[in-house]
Amino acid sequence: MEKVDQLDTYQDEFSRIAGYKFLIDGQSPTAFCHQPHNGTRWDMPTWDPEEYKKVIKTLHDTGLQICTHSIGDAAVDLVIDAYGGAMNANPRSDPRHRLEHVVLTTPQATPRMRDLGIIASTNPHFIFVGGDGYENIFGTERLARIMVIREWLNAGVHVTIGSDAPSVPFHHPAATMAGAISRITFSQKTMGGEQSMTFNEALRAHTIEAAYAAHEENIKGSLEPGKHADLVVWDKDPGSLSIKELANTTQVDMTMVGGKIVFQA
């Protein structure tokens, strides 16, 4: 922390140092929660809470962005407390600090996320990969609070979705969007269908909202004059595909990066 102001904020046309990444709890078996669960440990964050808040305040003061891996509802609340405390101590314009994964949350977390401008960066494909395990770990009652994407959208929270590559077996964007739309588990159960996204919402969350979450909506994320022209031409209309077809499709006709064709079928 004594040397954080000496960080060289490297940037070129493809990559840049945007900020900092933390883990405040582990995966589902060690999710930091307000109430006990059936995993390995439910009441242990990976940081001492007060130390974490101090570090977040120091890093917020550098002007860069902060992202924190948060699985359990107590983890999410701790991160919101830390971000809010840092922002109140040193208000600055539009920091867009992020919650990564945001699997389990309390209803009270949603308006706080909105009011603080915190990004929900979530991975709905986790429901397919590990959703059946959520019921075993968290119990049936808490399943209604798993990735409450519709609640966030209705409240005005910015939501972006991604695969969390390489920690999951399916990295292609279509699988991520299919997961957000269907919320189907591996055993073909629908988990929280009322929290599903529409196709257009999922596409937006994977494009312009992803750019917004990285402070890059002025240069990428949509097809507009002056932007990078990073785009994919699908071989079929993805909006017309069934969930199974969408989840499995990886075929495209063309890919452009910066307006240059880098792949053509």
pLDDT score recorded for residue 74: 98
Kindly list the distances between the CA atom of residue 55 and the CA atoms of 33, 51, 148, 212, 248, in Å, as whole numbers in the listed order: 22, 6, 28, 25, 42
This prediction's pTM: 0.94
When the candidates are 3.20.20.140, 3.55.50.30, 1.10.357.10, 3.40.640.10, the CATH number that belongs to 4-225 is 3.20.20.140
Residue at 13: amino acid letter: E
* Domains in the chain: boundaries: 4-225
The answer on pLDDT for 105 being more than 90 is yes
Distance of CA 227 to the CA centre of its chain: 23
Contacts of 216 (CB under 8 A, 6+ apart): none
Orientation angle between helical segments 173-182 and 126-138, nearest 10 degrees: 50
Q: Give the separation between CA 80 and CA 74, rounded to whole angstroms.
A: 10
pLDDT score recorded for residue 32: 98
Q: What is the mean pLDDT of residues 90-118?
A: 97
pLDDT score recorded for residue 85: 98
CB 109 within 8 A of CB 77: yes
Closest CA to 160 of 202, 108, 111: 202
For residues 78, 82, 88 and 92, what is the CA-based torsion angle, rounded to 10 degrees?
-130
In this structure, the strands spanning 252-257 and 231-234 are antiparallel
How confident is the model over 154-184, as pLDDT tens digits? Answer: 999 999 999 998 888 888 899 999 999 999 9
Q: What is the mean pLDDT of residues 213-222?
A: 95
The answer on pLDDT for 97 being more than 80 is yes
Contacts of 104 (CB under 8 A, 6+ apart): 31, 33, 71, 72, 73, 76, 138, 142, 145, 146
How confident is the model over 120-148, as pLDDT tens digits? Answer: 999 999 999 999 999 999 999 999 999 99
- What is the average pLDDT value for the chain, to the nearest integer? 95
H runs (alpha helix) in the chain:
49-60, 73-89, 109-116, 126-138, 149-155, 173-182, 199-206, 208-213, 243-248
